Structure 1
Amino acid sequence: MPPHDDLRTIDGDVYVSPRYLAGTTAIGDPALAPLLDLGWELEHDDLGNAFVHAPDRKVRLGYLPEGEDDGLWRINAYKDPFGPPTWGACFNDSCPTEFVRAFTTALAEAYEHGPGAYLAAPDPGSADRDPFNAIAPLINRGWQIDHPRWGVFAVQSPDGLAGLEFTTGRLDPETELTTRDARWQMWAGTSIDRPAWYATASTGTPVALLKAVTECVSDPTPLPRWQEETYSYVQGLARLTPVIPPRPPAATPLDVQRAAARRPAALTTSSVPRWSTTSRPALPGPRR
């Protein structure tokens, strides 16, 4: 059970485990919040898509429920606001919203540190920017190294139902931003070709942002979801545990004494007025 959940506000009636088999919450607000809290500008188009811009216009996020493909979340960063993206990330419309929020939270923190952080390209020669730092959380939690094909380094979850791929060699920058053929790809489901969800990131994406996602994806804590929303988990593979509200604590002897003290005094025959021959007659009631 998530350690900080308030069972009065949990948005769901089951916990889904492992969490990478949970789907989207279909609510974008939690992932937008870290950027909006910094004062980033929010705009909407006539279709219902939302766009968030950094004050310097060098980072942009699109939440695109009415987009041209299944790329629900697209985040790009620029050295020049009018030039091509320096890096781009995409989360599809089935990706758990918590993973997107992990990315935007790390992005908000990096933005506060300036371009040297949110435009910091991976660098194997740097301890802080080594691409392996993004993979380490998965390996530390039991994910296994794999080499599915030439030029691809991968790690898979112990059950084989989630994975991360890192493609080596030169890649076309435009292709990275518009297709799944990117430097980084995460997925979950029974097949990478038809995943339950996927996320991609291009070559220049800062390692700190990627690490925030891999830490969140591999976290053993389950995610709350509504059981009747079958799209919210990989049916038949995820483990569902009911969200059980806590039982009220048993009353102590002191609680019993205090409750008794708060009760009104018991009514007795001496406290109840009796009618007698000297009682005043009842007043006549209204006419019917």
Structure 2
Amino acid sequence: MPDPAHRAHPRSPAPETAWVVAAYETPVSDRIWHLSATGATPAPLLQELLDHLPDRDRWDAAVGSAVNEKTVTAATKPLVESGWKHTIDGRWIRWTNTSGDARVQFDAFAAQQPSNSRPTWTIWAGPSVDQPTWALHASPHTPAALIADLATELAHGTGTRRPPHPQAPRQPSQRTTSLAGAVSTGPPRPAGRLR
């Protein structure tokens, strides 16, 4: 069940949480950090998340460490290097891409209250944080390296790419072709008509 902070507002058309990743020191310990994603989150961002998870050395540093200026700087370096606009609005620090359709938001207040259920990091695309096309929400102790990896994917346009036009002919990829040839569907069937 998603954390209440990640549920869509009853009157909001915001997408619902579809993925929740949580890290625990042991199977019976308290949660160290967590990240949730909506169902429309781009596959390359989800793949980056999944690629990051097995490398425990990269996220062990998050255990017990507070978010500070150095952490935020490391996590958002890919955005700054890609020319994203940086703004500060009260407790929120935001980075916006040049086309204005994707953002990363850091909540300094939530970062200082790790027991609070509000997300510290919100990564989204769409008209607003309250009505995103898709969104990721991360807790205070989410590793800066993971946020940086997601920011790198986002900075290269992953989150803002549009799927091909539905009427455009789809070209099979080499991977799809080779996988289709490698899959065995059972014993060979005699030639004949399908019924």
Name the TM-score class by shorter chain: 0.5 to 0.7
CA contact (8 A) 1:86 1:119 kept: no
1:211 aligned residue (138, 141, 148): 148
Counterpart of 2:188 in structure 1 is none
* Alignment deviations for residues 75-126 of structure 1 (CA, whole Å, 9 cap, x no partner): 0001232122100011111110110111111222x22x4xxx3222266789
Q: Which runs of 5+ in 2 are unaligned?
A: 1-14, 173-195
Counterpart of 2:23 in structure 1 is 77
Q: TM-score when scaled to structure 2?
A: 0.68
Identity of aligned residues (%): 22
Q: Which runs of 5+ in 1 are unaligned?
A: 1-68, 176-180, 230-240, 246-288
Alignment of 1:58-77 (within 5 A): 70-77=16-23
Residue 227 of structure 1, CA deviation? 2.5
2:123 aligned residue (186, 207, 216): 186
* Alignment deviations for residues 39-88 of structure 1 (CA, whole Å, 9 cap, x no partner): xxxxxxxxxxxxxxxxxxxxxxxxxxxxxx82111100012321221000
Larger-gyration structure (1/2): 1
- Write the letter of the residue equivalent to 2:148: K
Given the alignment of the two structures, is residue 227 of structure 1 paired with residue 165 of structure 2, yes or no? yes
Alignment of 1:27-42 (within 5 A): none
Alignment of 1:27-176 (within 5 A): 70-108=16-54, 110-111=55-56, 113=57, 117-121=58-62, 130-147=71-88, 149-169=89-109, 170-171=112-113, 173=115, 175=117
Q: Distance in 2 between matches of 1:243 and 1:218?
A: 26
Q: Distance in 2 between matches of 1:190 and 1:144?
A: 16
Q: Distance in 2 between matches of 1:219 and 1:165?
A: 17
Question: Moved runs in structure 1, 4+ residues, more than 3 A?
Answer: 122-126, 220-226, 241-245
**Change beyond 3 A, Cα 1:159–1:90:** same
Q: TM-score when scaled to structure 1?
A: 0.47
Q: Distance in 2 between matches of 1:96 and 1:82?
A: 32
- Write the letter of the residue equivalent to 1:163: R
Q: Which has the higher helix share?
A: 2
Residue 226 of structure 1, CA deviation? 4.4
Q: Distance in 2 between matches of 1:196 and 1:202?
A: 20
Counterpart of 1:6 in structure 2 is none
The secondary structure found in structure 2 opposite 1:225 is coil
- Write the letter of the residue equivalent to 2:94: A
* Alignment deviations for residues 244-288 of structure 1 (CA, whole Å, 9 cap, x no partner): 79xxxxxxxxxxxxxxxxxxxxxxxxxxxxxxxxxxxxxxxxxxx
In angstroms, what is the RMSD of aligned CA positions? 2.9
**Change beyond 3 A, Cα 1:242–1:85:** same
